[in-house]
Structure 1
Amino acid sequence: MGAVRLGLNLEFARYENGSFDWAMDRAADIGYKYVEPMVHWGRELLSEAGYFHSRSMLDDPLILKEAAESRDLQISSLSSHAPLAKPDIAVDYLKQSIRYAAECGAPMIQVDDGPVPTWTTEEENYGLMRYTLQEAAYVAERRGIAIAIETHGPYTATPAALDLLLKLVNSPALTVNLDTGNSFLSENDPHEWLENIVANVTHVHAKDISLADAAKYRGKIRGMLGCTCGEGVIDWERIVRTLAAADHDVVLSVECGSLDAATKSYHYLSEVIQRVGAPALQPSAIAKESS
């Protein structure tokens, strides 16, 4: 059986005007053992001033590692999204984020498929994405870092589309970060989708969509921050049961829009995991598995 443990994507801090350290403190205070920080290239004014949670990859990656360890946290992944069909942006950025992940102790990075250039054909986009993923995979394979492709954009909007994207490059580094909320918004059944591909899912964005947002946005957008887990459309018992039956460990990384939702989601999902009987994931299990 796979082990399921709760993590927190630090994007909740965006609506709280919270810094990286503030977000890390709140994650630890709530009780999470895993966090998913965002990293960026260069310097960004709001982050430097403490109003945004992302960290610059110009900083020493050991700062990020020590920030987690000092709070008894593990890094489940780095949020390293870059447009795959824009290799002039994505290739060097992803290579850097992979090297950064290896040094800070993250077993994987998150990527997605959009936005795409305005002037290219679909065939050209597949060629561009293949180039980007292959260049990133060369770097990831040598370091034992997974590249988890998130269900987010036009080329990951359906099971068939995601499968085609994954087959562009033959690499063990390519895995899946299934985002339950995004998958639902793209008019899929995320529970069934997860059940069909769980063998290749290394990370899950635990995102719920409220009934009001589901009625308003489903089929119109492919991504948004979620509501409190348990207050929306996702059947979390089914999700946890699927992950617990897998032969590998996965972190459910809560992605929501507020500190209150992050807190309530932790308590709700903790109870679901305990009720379903999923074994607790030891803090070092993911890092060992990826080494």
Structure 2
Amino acid sequence: MRVGCCAYSFRDRLNSGAMTLEQFLDLAAGMGLDGVELTAYYFQQTDRDSLFHLKRECFRRGLHIAGTAVGSNFCQADAARRHEHVVMTKQWIDHSVVLGAPCIRVFAGPVPPGHTEEQAVAWAVACLQECAEYGAQRGVVVALENHGGITARAEQVLRLVREVDRPWFGINLDFGNFRADPYREFAMVAPHTVTTHAKTHWSGPSGEEPVDYARALQVMKAVGYQGYLNIEYESKPDPLTAVPAFAAELKAAIQQLSA
């Protein structure tokens, strides 16, 4: 397994302009990470030359672009709004091709007020199928994150996997987003996982609890997972100091797994 970092981990600095994406790359390289996930929210330009420039800067720093990420919502009741999010996702699939990113993270969305989960699932499945089919044409895997809404529980995620049923569709397993019985749920979705987000904590019944990565990585090893653990840092301490420490923890857990 490899350790990467999501640009989202430094969202406050990126949003305020205190950090650029290239400075984020410097930090990732300085931590000795294998790659980065480049979140769509933080791109100032997405023209071809700008994307090529960022691709070159990753290469110069020895970083693989593990994936991109968009904030899609395919559960909106308005069909025109759903279509807008499909178009946006396809645009970012195209950007991913230019960047050389093999994967794009997407969200399904929540059930909108006044509607049922069955309706939301049907809308999301149709959108995800369209995106996955486009991803297949462009060589980019569409990875659905367990991110609340109709993906809050492993059973819901697996239903979407079954109903979308496309070879270029998989799961972005976020180790911090299952609330009920996370390690059981990790095992349920692990066979369909193509990439991951590594948070430091998950929200349990008694509050935030640290993710036991020795245990979580055993689950992933059991299904032959060899992909990325992309750090998605959301905790209180400053990410400039906390992310490097967490990266070292993940690297140690991987080494222990191989011992």
User: TM-score under structure 2 normalisation?
Assistant: 0.86
Superposition pairs for residues 258-269 of structure 1, below 5 Å? 258-269=239-250
Which aligned pairs between 1:44-123 and structure 2 lie closer than 5 A?
53-60=42-49, 61-86=51-76, 87-123=82-118
1:164 to 159, 168, 193: 159
Work out the percentage of aligned pairs sharing the same amino acid. 27
1:25 corresponds to: 26
Q: 1:169 to 1:214 in 2, by over 3 A?
A: closer
Contact 1:202–1:249 (CA<8 Å) still a contact in 2? no
The structure-2 alpha-carbon separation of the partners of 1:153 and 1:141, relative to structure 1 and needing over 3 Å to count, comes to same
The match for 2:177 is: 182
Deviation at 1:248, TM superposition (A): 4.4
Contact 1:57-1:97 at 8 Å conserved across structures: no
- 1:214 Cα shift? 4.7
| 3-state SS of paired residue (2:70) | strand
SS class of match (1:205): strand
Unaligned runs of 5+ in 2: 77-81
Contact 1:109 1:147 in 2 (8 A): yes
Q: How far, CA to CA, are the matches of 1:115 and 1:79 in structure 2?
A: 18
- Structure 2: which amino acid aligns with 1:93? M
The yes-or-no answer on 1:239 pairing with 2:226 is: no
Q: Separation in 2 of the partners of 1:248 and 1:6?
A: 13
* 1:41-76 deviation per Cα after TM superposition (whole angstroms, max 9, x unaligned): xxxxxxxxxxxx445434543233112112110011
Name the SS of the counterpart of 1:244 in structure 2. helix
1:115 CA drift (Å): 4.2
Offset, 1:18: 2.0
In structure 1, give the amino acid aligned to 2:253. Answer: V
Which residue of the partner structure matches residue 168 of structure 2? 173
- Indicate if the aligned counterparts of 1:78 and 1:109 stay in contact, CA closer than 8 A: yes
Q: CA deviation at 1:153?
A: 1.7
Instruction: Indicate if the aligned counterparts of 1:141 and 1:173 stay in contact, CA closer than 8 A.
Output: yes
In structure 2, give the amino acid aligned to 1:106.
A
- What residue in structure 1 maps to residue 136 of structure 2? 141
| Number of residue-to-residue matches in the alignment | 245
Do the aligned residues in 2 keep the contact of 1:82 with 1:89 (CA within 8 Å)?
A: no
User: Is 2:254 aligned against 1:277?
Assistant: no
Please identify which structure carries the higher helix content.
2
Name the residue aligned to 1:195. 187
Aligned partner of 1:256 in structure 2 is 233
Q: Cα distance, 1:175 vs. partner?
A: 0.4
TM-score, normalization by structure 1: 0.77
1:57 partner amino acid = T
Structure 1 residues 165 and 195: CA distance shift in structure 2, 3 A? same
Give the number of the structure with larger relative contact order, counting CA–CA contacts within 8 Å between residues 6 or more apart: 1
Residue identity opposite 2:167 in structure 1: P
**Distance of 1:28 and 1:149 partners within structure 2:** 27
| Aligned match of 2:5 | 8
**Structure 1 CA distance for aligned equivalents of residues 98 and 43 of structure 2:** 17
CA distance in 1, matches of 2:11, 2:189: 31
- Structure 1 stretches of 5 or more lacking a match? 41-52, 219-231, 279-291
Query: In the aligned structure 1, how far is the partner of 2:172 from the partner of 2:192?
Result: 9
